[in-house]
Chain A
Amino acid sequence: MCNACGNPAAPGHWTEAGTVTPGDRLRARFHRIGVLRAILRPYGLTADDNGAVPGIQVGTLFGASVIVDTLSDVWAEAERLCGRPIDPLDPRYLGDDA
Chain B
Amino acid sequence: MTPEPRDGRIRLTILGGYLGSGKTTWLRHQLHAGAFGPRVHVIVNEAAETPVDDALLAGAGGVTLLAGGCCCCTGRAALIGALRTICDARSRLAASAPRLERIVLETSGLADPGAIVAAVQADPVLVSHIVLVETIVTVDALHALAQLATEPLGRRQIGAADRLVLTKVDTAEPQALAVLRATLGEINGHAALSAAVLGVEVALPPQPTDARPAPLPLLPDEDARGPIRPAQVTLPEGLDWSAFAVWLSALLHARGDDLVRVKGVIRTPAGRFLLQTVRKVVQSPEILPEQGDARQDNSIVFIGRGYRPEDLGRSMHRFLGLPSA
Contacts and interface: CB of A to CB of B under 8 A. Distances in A.
Do chains A and B stick together as partners? yes
Interface string B82-93: 000000000000
Interface string A26-66: 00100110011011000000000000000000000000000
A76 B318 CA distance: 21
Q: Is the interface of A mostly helix, strand, loop or mixed?
A: helix
A37 B271 CA distance: 27
Nearest to A16: B245
A98 interface: no
Contacts of B307: 89
A35 B255 contact: no
A4 interface: no
B315 A74 contact: no
A19 B284 CA distance: 12
Interface residues on A, range: 35 or more
A89 to B, nearest CB: 5
A28 B11 CA distance: 28
Contact of B311 (A10, A35, A72, A89): A89
B319 A39 contact: yes
A86 B254 CA distance: 7
Contacts, number: 101
B75 interface: no
Bin chain B's interface residue count: 35 or more
A11 B128 contact: yes
Contacts of A36: 246
Contacts of A39: 246, 250, 319
Given A18-B270, A20-B270, A86-B254, A35 B242 contact: yes
A15 B245 contact: yes
Nearest to A71: B249
Contact of B242 (A12, A28, A87): A28
Contact of B312 (A79, A85, A87, A89): A89
Contact of A17 (B241, B249, B250, B251): B241
Considering residues A18, A85, A88, A94, which has the most beta carbons from chain B within 10 angstroms of its beta carbon? A88
Given A35-B242, A71-B246, A94-B311, A17 B284 contact: yes
Given A35-B246, A71-B246, A74-B249, A18 B254 contact: no
- By CB atoms of chain B within 10 A, which of A14, A20, A79, A86 has the most? A14
Contacts of B252: 72
B254 A94 contact: no
B148 interface: no
Given A85-B253, A86-B250, A89-B255, A14 B282 contact: yes
> Which of A11, A79, A94 has most chain B Cβ within 10 Å?
A94
A15 B315 contact: no
A88 B270 contact: no
B124 interface: yes
Contacts of A75: 249-250, 253-254
Given A11-B284, A15-B248, 5 more contacts: A14-B245, A14-B282, A19-B270, A32-B246, A94-B318
Per CB-CB distance, the 8 closest pairs between chain A and chain B, nearest first, are A18-B270, A75-B253, A15-B245, A87-B254, A32-B242, A71-B249, A88-B315, A14-B282
